[in-house]
Amino acid sequence: MEGGAAASTPAALPYYVAFSQLLGLTLVAMTGAWLGLYRGGIAWESDLQFNAHPLCMVIGLVFLQGDALLVYRVFRNEAKRTTKVLHGLLHVFALVIALVGLVAVFGYHRRKGYADLYSLHSWCGILVFVLYFVQGQVQ
């Protein structure tokens, strides 16, 4: 669509975006509530360090990544450079927060003497993180 007429925005898009934001924030809040009420909270220098892992993964790889993907649809009429910068920043924040989640789980395992990468969940998680990082480098 370079040089052509600007793409029209679907009439229902604001409602879809509002619903996705509400759903994402609800997921983050529910994860935080679950960790706070049923898992004892979050702390870095204790056994609660592990609890930072699910919260960081939800914030980074679900909420912020989803927002980064929506930037080009939501800000259609903004300058391309502005949307690219916002898209990139959201992806960088998502990557950093997911990295904090990985550091939390590996630190917890080291502190407790547990083996790393011993389950299918851990291998799939590492694969997701690596693919997320690589696709960001390819774009």
The 3-state secondary structure of the chain, one letter per residue: CCCCCCCCCCCCHHHHHHHHHHHHHHHHHHHHHHHHHHCCCCCCCCHHHHHHHHHHHHHHHHHHHHHHHHHHHHCCCCCHHHHHHHHHHHHHHHHHHHHHHHHHHHHHHHHHCCCCCCCHHHHHHHHHHHHHHHHHHHC
10 in a domain, yes or no?
no
pLDDT at position 62: 94
Residue among 72, 104, 73, 102 nearest 86 (CA): 72
Is residue 6 in some structural domain? no
Residue type, 129: F
User: Do the domain assignments include residue 42?
Assistant: yes
Give, for all 139 residues of the chain, the pLDDT tens digit: 455 445 677 788 889 999 999 999 999 999 999 999 999 999 988 889 999 999 999 999 999 999 999 998 888 889 999 999 999 999 999 999 999 999 999 999 999 999 999 999 999 999 999 998 888 666 6
In a domain, 5, yes or no: no
Contact between 57 and 22 (Cβ < 8 Å): no
* CA atoms of 105 and 69, how far apart (whole Å): 27
Q: How many domains does the chain divide into?
A: 1
Could you tell me if residue 61 is inside a domain?
Answer: yes
Domain extent for 31: 25-137
Determine contact, residues 45/36, Cβ cutoff 8 Å.
Answer: no
Asked whether the CA dihedral 15, 16, 18, 19 is positive or negative, the reply is positive
In a domain, 9, yes or no: no
Residue 82 lies in a domain: yes
What's the pLDDT at 92?
A: 94
Query: Which CATH number does the domain housing residue 91 bear?
Result: 1.20.120.1770
- The pLDDT of residue 3: 52
